[in-house]
């Protein structure tokens, strides 16, 4: 790991200014669980590491009846998993937080860091100078792509690694972003960028921009939610695929809902046309089977990941039937 | 649609054809390394200084001077001689280096020493009273929750964090609480027994006190 | 006690060992099945438990010496290249850098049987040594590595063994890509005729992946010179082997090299050989006049210090309708990486069952990847997966119960040598194991389960050597305070060596275990024992300790006789006290005897006796696995494993069960998740950390039931112990694969049995 200056800004403005001034040399640092990994592998070599934790007031969970939930960017995943209000009102968020990494990493890793973590593609993490690192080819495309995307890929074929992003997407979350001395609000679904648009960034944060808060709207009383993460080992592994569902139903019929998928695309995946088909679907074997056969209809699996399509469909089916 | 024609998809095979079969053309390493060298030189001109750090480890203050990139594990092991903390992966993937930070388990190899400032660090050396074993340590001996012993200090610290939070864990709680610690010897069945036994013993002792 | 020199012949980690050894002339009588042992076999807590749970155990990784410096190796980033030039000037200018060694300034020291040298000008895999920096700190050494400029002339490479076997493949070494240029062959009987006579023929191809040891403590040495004397703390399973290899490399007498290893964080076979890193550190240390620590990192562990070779195994079996095997043939090749090793895996097929006609043909293939090494039951693990999977397939084809097929082909004598076994209790293992898993009651026909989660039961047999043999010695020292010190040049890998050595002395001399201290892991102070691999340690060393202890007892009796003025036969020894049989009031303690002798201590040295002539010594066992397959995802969960083994006498129930748990769970890793993944276009490894390289976690822990069907092998040694380290892992993967088949009706023929494979196979079946 290359040495760096550790900057301890006292305000968002101070942090943002440094980041903006040195877009290539400075890096924002929260729990560091991802950043440190990248630095140890020399994938990023920042000269200034800007410790967001020195900015006060970014670690909170606050819930207002009727309005919803606000989570400070620096809130650790363990806090989210253990928060009683979240367990009661947004159990799906708790599930996703608990499904991340390991207990020790959840004690340090933050929610914003989770959304902004870099890809896990093994070529990216190893000494391959691939497209995403400024090189001129994607090694995964016809290489070892078992864990890569089946939809939305090209020219880079990562999957987005965040577990929380999947449920936050299904929960219709918004982000508050500070930058340029003001804040903006961005819908999570507009936050992530596809490699087709920009294959070196996973989100549309601009230099100097910092996520300060994640907002989750109040869920209707009758909303049901569920999250499932499929991984090969019982802990630590990233999702091979994951599914988050937030559904309103009447009797056994869906009124409306959202399905979001992880591990299938370079961004946390939501298919509006699929969600449009949800209303009216009866949550029983036949109609659900029919519905899930629509999932990833346009998938173009790579040489080693065709299994992800049936996997996602099976998991979604089970999830919906067990809602 | 063939994969090669995909939006911007650059085929590896195509790429390789361009540079001769089987041999990779992208391995001219010198320029990359030269660049790194330049950067490092530049760096030394910019002078990244070691910075002062006050750590509270096992109840004692230590005043140190560290390079910012130094991890907590490096400080514990190399500067403070606390070699009970083991490093096996140095990347947050095994738990060997588990210590407590304000009573919560963290991987000391995967946190900057500077980030531990102002917090209470507890290592395996800090949970004993003199030469007297902590009940979790005794349980690991009694139930043989170890083989080579390299992962053991980390296991004990993870167990300590778990029991501090949840003194009466179920078997499932133990699995989850200890899940951030790999044991390559795979002494897992006995590790589970050790943690359960330690909890039970602590439970029966508090019951006796009452 | 009288000794003689004999030819010793036994199987070690990678096959037959033949050597001369000094052994006792008279064998002590083995403890019989009804021997009333008070300490041996009991669940005694580990002697080294305190050190390990407190973090006080000094692993090599923890050794720190005054003025110590830190070394880091620069390794090739490419799979095959010639080094045109290396420029270390900038790195040398970095403050704190003390020395850089490359092929330009390093003596030519042959390595891997002369197929390369310490720093070669040709690198043959990603991870081959290019240079080594020694600096004032680890961080400086690492910084310096990035300043070394290497200009490579890229050479063609090959990473797939089936490609490497082709004539036109790039050559890893000028002499070719197949070890010895030919297959290793074995045959007995007339295989063609055997197949002709068979009612049923079954053939198929099975394959296994490369897996990496990944012990938690990385390979590590700390070296320190004292004039012409070198001390090496090394994380090793083979003290004396490392000593001799280092001495030879540095052209110095072995007596000038001392190798120390107190505690080691796992080895699993990967630490049986001396590493280049130790020699490199010693060379530099000598030059700079300061101690050097060289510790590999996790990436180096995954690239450069060995692995279990993969295998492609084409098997064919011919049997009569009733299941009697008539012919077996085995063709296989495996990837040994860039330097010689072997990938042979047909031993289980040759020896597990009675079969008159057998032929095997095996190729060990070189590629431009990290070299294979012994890994916990080398060959047997790969071979057993394929062969025992095939036995189930054959049973299915014959319409027989798989367990019946195995019983049917039970053999009393070793089918290769035609010698009888010293003991073989595999039928008991079948019986007790099958009862414990519920074979009869719970096991349903393959694929008959319905629903999302499908359960199945499978089993596999195991054979391994593990009898150990001489030479192995132990010295014991009885002190005036009646405390005892056992010394043996062996190793504890977490296997409980410290503890069982003490137990045996405690048993014989009836001294409390707390009064016994054990020193192992030091070539200078301990008598010779062989390496710790192949389940040899306990069967080799435990009899030597018993021999020394019995001698000690006799000495004490003899001394007591003299002091108490009576004949030896009139002296009774009991718990550290000697009394006259005819006058029990006349009693003397160890302390009093030693005081009277004015020697401060009594010393004896015991030796492992010779193995019995004309026998084969093997361990046997069977494992039964119950799995649950999630047909939605393809994920396999192991619910329960019953491990029934014949391993001779149990020395310590606690550590033995632990060993078995460990082997089984590593076997689960092998069966379900572990795999070194290589990008074949670039010849580079993608799994260089233990996140992408998947090691089982606590979440993968099944219920495990251990059944030991043996009580002590009366023929092999005075303790009757056979080893258990390797047997534990051998049948696990096959038992799981067979259980997956039983659950789903789908046969996964290539390891690891990952969810994607199962899911795709299930959907193909439907
Ligand atoms: C072994 C291992 C296993 C893991 N497993 C999982 C898993 O299963 N699932 C999963 O989802 N994740 C996993 N992770 C990723 C884990 O690092 C994240 O989940 C964690 O939450 C990241 O948070 P952090 O605060 O540590 O981020 P950091 O490492 O501090 O930052 C990560 C990135 O986010 C940026 N960033 C941080 N905060 C902000 C902000 N407020 N505004 C803008 N940018 C910001 C940083 O600049 C950096 O680029 C794993 C990590 C490891 C090491
Ligand atoms: S998928 Fe993306 S990150 Fe991975 S090799 Fe291809 S370009 Fe690089
Ligand atoms: S050494 Fe820190 S997690 Fe592995
Ligand atoms: S005891 Fe060896 S790694 Fe856990």
Nearest CA to ligand 2 atom 2: A156
C674 touches chain B (CB under 8 A): no
Q: So what's the pLDDT on residue B39?
A: 53
The domain defined by A223-322 folds into: Enolase-like; domain 1 (3.30.390)
Q: So what's the pLDDT on residue C10?
A: 86
A286: number of Cβ within 10 Å: 8
Which ligand has the minimum distance to the alpha carbon of residue B98?
3
pLDDT band at B41 (very low <50, low <70, confident <90, very high): low
Q: How large a percentage of chain A has pLDDT more than 90?
A: 98
Residue to mutate among B5, B9, B154, with most A CBs inside 10 A, is B9
The residue to which tokens 């968002």 are assigned: A12
C353: number of Cβ within 10 Å: 24
Q: So what's the pLDDT on residue C765?
A: 86
pLDDT band at B28 (very low <50, low <70, confident <90, very high): very low
Q: Per the CB < 8 Å rule, is A233 touching C699?
A: yes
Ligand 2 within 6 A of CB of A132: yes
* Distance in angstroms (rounded) separating the CA atoms of residues C392 and A267: 45
Q: Which ligand 1 atom lies nearest to the CA of residue A231?
A: 8
Q: Which one of C146, C700, C756 has the shortest CB-CB distance to A146?
A: C756
Using an 8 Å Cβ cutoff, are A151 and A296 in contact? Answer: yes
**C-proximal residues of A, 153-212, CB under 8 Å:** none
Using an 8 Å Cβ cutoff, are A120 and A238 in contact? Answer: yes
Give all strands (DSSP E) within C650-713, no chain letters: 678-679, 684-685, 703-708
Average pLDDT over residues A287-302: 97
pLDDT for B33 beyond 60: no
**Exposure of A229 by Cβ count < 10 A (0-12 exposed, 13-18 middle, 19+ buried)?**
buried
Q: Per the CB < 8 Å rule, is C754 touching A315?
A: no
Q: Per the CB < 8 Å rule, is A307 touching C760?
A: yes
Ligand 1 within 6 A of CB of A34: yes
C694 touches chain B (CB under 8 A): no
DSSP per position, A196-253: TT-SS-SB-PPTT-EEEEEEEEPPPTTEEEEEEEE-SSSSSPPPSEEEEEEEEEETTE
Distance from CA of A304 to the nearest CA of C (A): 9
* Distance in angstroms (rounded) separating the CA atoms of residues C180 and C175: 9
Q: So what's the pLDDT on residue A181?
A: 85
Q: So what's the pLDDT on residue B49?
A: 81
Residue C752 preceded by cis peptide, ω within 30: yes
DSSP annotation of C308: B
Q: How large a percentage of chain C has pLDDT more than 90?
A: 96
Nearest by Cα to C421 from C648, C706, C645: C648
Those chains having 3 or more beta-carbon pairs within 8 angstroms of chain A are B, C
B172-205 confidence digits (pLDDT tens): 999 999 999 999 999 999 999 999 999 999 888 7
* Distance in angstroms (rounded) separating the CA atoms of residues A99 and A236: 8
* Distance in angstroms (rounded) separating the CA atoms of residues C368 and C122: 12
pLDDT for C381 beyond 60: yes
Among B128-132, C75-79, C298-302, C568-572, the minimum mean pLDDT is found in B128-132
Domain C63-155+216-266+271-304 and domain C163-213+311-407, same fold? Reply is no
pLDDT band at C13 (very low <50, low <70, confident <90, very high): confident
Ligand 3 within 6 A of CB of B147: no
For the domain bounded by C419-466+613-766, which CATH number is listed?
3.30.365.10
pLDDT band at B210 (very low <50, low <70, confident <90, very high): low
pLDDT for B15 beyond 50: no
Q: Which CATH architecture has domain C63-155+216-266+271-304?
A: Alpha-Beta Complex (3.90)
Nearest by Cα to C386 from C729, C750, C761: C750
Q: Which one of A6, A37, A104 has the shortest CB-CB distance to B95?
A: A104
Give residues with Cβ within 8 angstroms of A47, minimum separation 6.
A4, A5, A22, A25, A26, B43, B46, B48
C349-380 confidence digits (pLDDT tens): 999 999 999 999 999 999 999 999 999 999 99
Residue of B nearest to A157 (CA): B9
What average pLDDT does chain C have? 96
Distance from CA of B103 to the nearest CA of A (A): 11
User: What is the pTM assigned to this prediction?
Assistant: 0.96
Those chains having 3 or more beta-carbon pairs within 8 angstroms of chain B are A, C
Average pLDDT over residues C557-573: 96
Q: So what's the pLDDT on residue B38?
A: 59
Q: Which ligand 2 atom lies nearest to the CA of residue A139?
A: 5
pLDDT for B147 beyond 70: yes
B60-88 confidence digits (pLDDT tens): 999 999 999 999 999 999 999 999 999 99
Task: For chain C, give every domain's residue range.
Answer: 3-59+468-607, 63-155+216-266+271-304, 163-213+311-407, 419-466+613-766
Cα dihedral sign, C400-C401-C402-C408 = negative
Q: Per the CB < 8 Å rule, is A33 touching B92?
A: yes
- What the block records as the tokens of C555 is 């000495």
For the domain bounded by C3-59+468-607, which CATH number is listed?
3.30.365.10
Give residues with Cβ within 8 angstroms of A20, minimum separation 6.
A179, A180, A207, A208
Residues on chain C touching B86 (C-beta within 8 angstroms): 55, 59, 61, 216-217, 265
pLDDT band at B20 (very low <50, low <70, confident <90, very high): very low
Q: Per the CB < 8 Å rule, is A233 touching C673?
A: yes
Q: Per the CB < 8 Å rule, is A315 touching C633?
A: yes
* Distance in angstroms (rounded) separating the CA atoms of residues C401 and C395: 6
Q: So what's the pLDDT on residue C570?
A: 97
DSSP annotation of A310: H
Q: So what's the pLDDT on residue B30?
A: 41
Beta bridge partners of A179: A182
Q: So what's the pLDDT on residue B47?
A: 60
Ligand 4 within 6 A of CB of B37: no
Q: Per the CB < 8 Å rule, is C494 touching B24?
A: no
Q: So what's the pLDDT on residue B10?
A: 44
* Distance in angstroms (rounded) separating the CA atoms of residues B173 and B196: 10
Average pLDDT over residues C319-338: 98
Q: So what's the pLDDT on residue B205?
A: 78
A261: number of Cβ within 10 Å: 29
Q: Per the CB < 8 Å rule, is A126 touching C684?
A: yes
Average pLDDT over residues C415-440: 98
Q: So what's the pLDDT on residue B31?
A: 42
Return the ∠ at Cα C403 (arms to C401 and C407), rounded to 5°. Answer: 115
Q: Per the CB < 8 Å rule, is B176 touching A2?
A: no
pLDDT for B16 beyond 50: no
Q: Which ligand 1 atom lies nearest to the CA of residue A27?
A: 47
Average pLDDT over residues A4-10: 97
C665 touches chain B (CB under 8 A): yes
The end-to-end CA distance of chain B, in Å, is 75
Q: How large a percentage of chain C has pLDDT more than 70?
A: 100
- What the block records as the tokens of C583 is 């006058």
Beta bridge partners of C679: C684
Those chains having 3 or more beta-carbon pairs within 8 angstroms of chain C are A, B
Domains and CATH numbers, chain B: 11-44 (no CATH), 48-126 (3.10.20.30), 131-210 (1.10.150.120)
pLDDT for C164 beyond 50: yes
Distance from CA of A109 to the nearest CA of B (A): 10
C683-734 confidence digits (pLDDT tens): 999 999 999 999 999 999 999 999 999 999 999 999 999 999 999 999 999 9
Nearest CA to ligand 2 atom 4: A121
Q: Which CATH architecture has domain C163-213+311-407?
A: 2-Layer Sandwich (3.30)
Q: Is B52 helix (H, G, I), strand (E, B) or coil?
A: strand
B91 touches chain A (CB under 8 A): yes
Residues in chain C whose beta carbon is closer than 8 A to a beta carbon of chain A?
Answer: 77, 139, 142-143, 146, 452, 632-635, 673, 677-682, 684-689, 691-692, 694, 696-700, 754-756, 759-760, 763
């Amino acid at each position: 790991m290359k040495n760096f200056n550790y900057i301890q800004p006292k305000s968002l403005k101070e942090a943002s200014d440094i980041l903006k001034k040195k877009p290539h040399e400075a890096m924002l640092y929260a729990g560091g669980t991802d950043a440190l990994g990248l630095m140890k592998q020399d994938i990023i070599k920042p000269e200034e590491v800007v410790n967001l934790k020195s900015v006060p007031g970014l670690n909170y969970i606050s819930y207002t009846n009727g309005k919803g939930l606000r989570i400070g960017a620096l809130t650790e995943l363990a806090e989210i998993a253990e928060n009683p209000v979240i367990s009661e009102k947004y159990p799906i968020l708790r599930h996703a937080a608990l499904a991340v990494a390991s207990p020790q990493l959840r004690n340090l890793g933050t929610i914003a860091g989770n959304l902004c973590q870099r890809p896990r593609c093994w070529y990216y993490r190893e000494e391959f100078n691939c497209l995403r690192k400024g090189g001129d080819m994607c090694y995964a495309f016809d290489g070892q792509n078992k864990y890569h995307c089946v939809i939305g890929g090209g020219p880079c074929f990562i999957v987005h690694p965040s577990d929380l992003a999947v449920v936050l997407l299904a929960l219709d979350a918004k982000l508050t972003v500070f930058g340029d001395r003001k804040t903006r609000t961005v819908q999570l679904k507009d936050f992530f960028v596809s490699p087709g648009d920009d294959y070196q960034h996973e989100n549309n944060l601009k230099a100097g921009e910092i996520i300060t808060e994640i907002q989750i709207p109040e869920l209707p009383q009758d909303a049901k939610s569920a999250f499932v993460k499929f991984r090969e080992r019982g802990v630590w592994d990233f999702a091979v695929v994951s599914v988050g569902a937030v559904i309103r139903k009447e009797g056994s019929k869906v009124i409306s809902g959202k399905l979001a998928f992880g591990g299938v695309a370079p961004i946390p995946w939501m298919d509006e046309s699929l969600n449009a088909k949800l209303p009216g679907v009866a949550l029983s074997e036949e109609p659900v089977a029919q519905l899930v056969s629509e999932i990833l209809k346009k998938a173009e699996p790579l040489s080693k990941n065709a299994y992800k399509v049936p996997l996602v469909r099976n998991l979604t089916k089970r999830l919906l039937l067990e809602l | 649609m063939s994969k090669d024609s995909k939006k911007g998809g650059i085929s590896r095979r195509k790429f390789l054809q361009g540079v001769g079969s089987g041999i990779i053309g992208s391995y001219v390493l010198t320029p990359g390394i030269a660049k790194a060298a330049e950067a490092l030189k530049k760096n030394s001109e910019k002078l990244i200084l070691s910075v002062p750090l006050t750590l509270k480890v096992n109840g004692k203050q230590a005043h140190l001077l560290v390079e910012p990139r130094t991890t907590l594990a490096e400080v514990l092991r190399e500067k403070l001689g606390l070699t009970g903390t083991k490093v096996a992966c140095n990347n947050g993937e095994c738990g060997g280096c588990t210590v407590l930070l304000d009573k919560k388990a963290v991987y000391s190899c995967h946190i900057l020493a500077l980030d531990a400032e102002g917090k209470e660090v507890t290592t395996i050396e800090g949970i004993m009273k003199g030469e007297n074993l902590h009940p979790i340590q005794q349980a690991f001996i009694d139930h043989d929750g170890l083989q080579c012993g390299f992962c053991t200090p980390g296991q004990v610290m993870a167990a300590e964090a778990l029991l501090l939070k949840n003194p009466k864990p179920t078997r499932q709680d133990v699995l989850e609480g200890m899940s951030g610690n790999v044991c390559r010897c795979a002494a897992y069945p006995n590790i589970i027994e050790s943690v359960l036994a330690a909890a039970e013993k602590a439970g029966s002792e508090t019951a006796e006190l009452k | 006690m009288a000794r003689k020199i004999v030819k010793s012949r036994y199987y070690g980690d990678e096959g037959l060992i033949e050597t001369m050894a000094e052994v006792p002339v008279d064998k002590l009588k083995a403890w019989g099945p009804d021997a009333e042992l008070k300490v041996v076999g009991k669940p005694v807590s580990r002697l080294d438990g305190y050190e390990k749970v407190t973090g006080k155990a000094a692993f090599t990784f923890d050794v720190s010496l005054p003025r110590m410096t830190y070394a880091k190796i620069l390794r090739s980033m490419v799979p095959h290249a010639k080094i045109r030039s290396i420029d270390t000037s900038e790195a040398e200018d970095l403050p704190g850098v003390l020395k850089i060694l490359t092929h330009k300034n390093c003596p030519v020291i042959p390595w891997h049987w002369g197929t390369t040298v310490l720093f070669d000008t040709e690198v043959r895999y990603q991870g081959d040594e290019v240079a080594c920096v020694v600096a004032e700190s680890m961080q400086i050494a690492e910084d310096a590595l990035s300043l070394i400029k290497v200009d490579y002339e890229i050479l063609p490479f090959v990473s797939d063994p089936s490609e490497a076997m082709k004539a036109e493949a790039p050559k890893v070494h000028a002499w070719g890509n197949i070890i010895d240029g030919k297959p290793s062959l074995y045959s007995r009987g007339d295989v063609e005729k055997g197949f002709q006579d068979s009612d049923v023929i079954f053939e198929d191809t099975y394959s296994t992946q490369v897996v990496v040891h990944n012990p938690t403590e990385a390979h590590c040495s700390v070296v320190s010179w004292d004039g012409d004397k070198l001390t090496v703390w090394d994380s090793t399973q083979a003290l004396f082997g490392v000593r001799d290899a280092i001495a030879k490399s540095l052209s110095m007498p072995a007596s000038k090299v001392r190798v120390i290893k107190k505690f080691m964080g796992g080895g699993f076979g990967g630490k049986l050989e001396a590493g280049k890193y130790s020699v490199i550190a010693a060379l530099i240390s000598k030059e700079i006049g300061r101690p050097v620590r060289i510790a590999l990192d996790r990436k180096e562990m995954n690239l450069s210090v060995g692995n279990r070779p993969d295998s492609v195994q084409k098997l064919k079996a011919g049997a009569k309708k009733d299941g009697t095997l008539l012919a077996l043939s085995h063709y296989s090749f495996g990837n040994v990486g860039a330097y010689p090793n072997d990938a042979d895996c047909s031993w289980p097929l040759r020896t597990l069952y009675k079969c008159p006609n057998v032929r095997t043909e095996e190729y060990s293939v070189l590629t431009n990847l990290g070299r294979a090494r012994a890994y916990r039951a080398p060959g047997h693990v790969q071979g057993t997966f394929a062969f025992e999977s095939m036995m189930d397939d054959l049973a299915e084809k014959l319409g027989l119960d798989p367990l019946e097929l195995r019983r049917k082909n039970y053999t009393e004598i070793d089918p290769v040598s035609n010698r009888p076994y010293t003991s073989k209790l595999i039928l008991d293992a079948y019986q007790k194991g099958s009862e414990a898993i519920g074979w009869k009651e719970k096991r349903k026909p393959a694929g008959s389960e319905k629903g999302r989660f499908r359960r199945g039961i499978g089993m596999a047999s195991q054979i391994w050597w593990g009898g150990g043999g001489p030479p192995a010695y132990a010295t014991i020292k009885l002190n005036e305070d009646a405390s005892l010190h056992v010394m043996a040049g062996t190793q504890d890998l977490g296997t409980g060596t410290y503890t069982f050595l003490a137990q045996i002395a405690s048993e014989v001399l009836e001294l409390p275990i707390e009064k016994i201290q054990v020193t192992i892991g030091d070539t200078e102070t301990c008598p010779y024992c062989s390496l710790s691999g192949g389940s040899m340690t306990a069967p080799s060393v435990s009899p030597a300790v018993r021999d020394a202890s019995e001698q000690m007892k006799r000495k004490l009796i003899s001394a007591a006789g003299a002091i108490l003025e009576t004949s030896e036969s009139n002296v009774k020894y009991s718990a550290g006290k000697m009394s006259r049989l005819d006058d029990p009031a006349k009693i003397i303690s160890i302390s009093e005897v030693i005081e009277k002798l004015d020697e401060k201590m009594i010393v004896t040295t015991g030796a492992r006796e010779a193995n019995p002539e004309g026998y084969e010594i093997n361990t046997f066992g069977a494992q039964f696995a119950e799995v649950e397959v999630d047909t939605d995802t393809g994920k396999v969960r192991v619910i329960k494993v019953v491990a029934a083994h014949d391993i001779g006498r149990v020395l310590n129930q606690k550590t033995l069960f632990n060993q078995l748990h460990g082997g089984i769970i590593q076997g689960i890793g092998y069966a379900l998740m572990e795999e070194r993944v290589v990008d074949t276009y670039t010849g580079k490894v993608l799994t260089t950390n233990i996140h992408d390289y998947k090691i089982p976690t606590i979440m993968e822990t099944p219920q495990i039931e251990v059944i030991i069907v043996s009580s002590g092998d009366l023929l092999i040694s005075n303790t009757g112990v056979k080893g258990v380290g390797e047997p534990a892992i051998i049948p696990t993967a096959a038992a799981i694969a067979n259980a997956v088949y039983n659950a789903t009706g789908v046969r996964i023929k290539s390891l690891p049995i990952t969810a994607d494979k199962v899911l795709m196979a299930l959907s193909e079946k439907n």
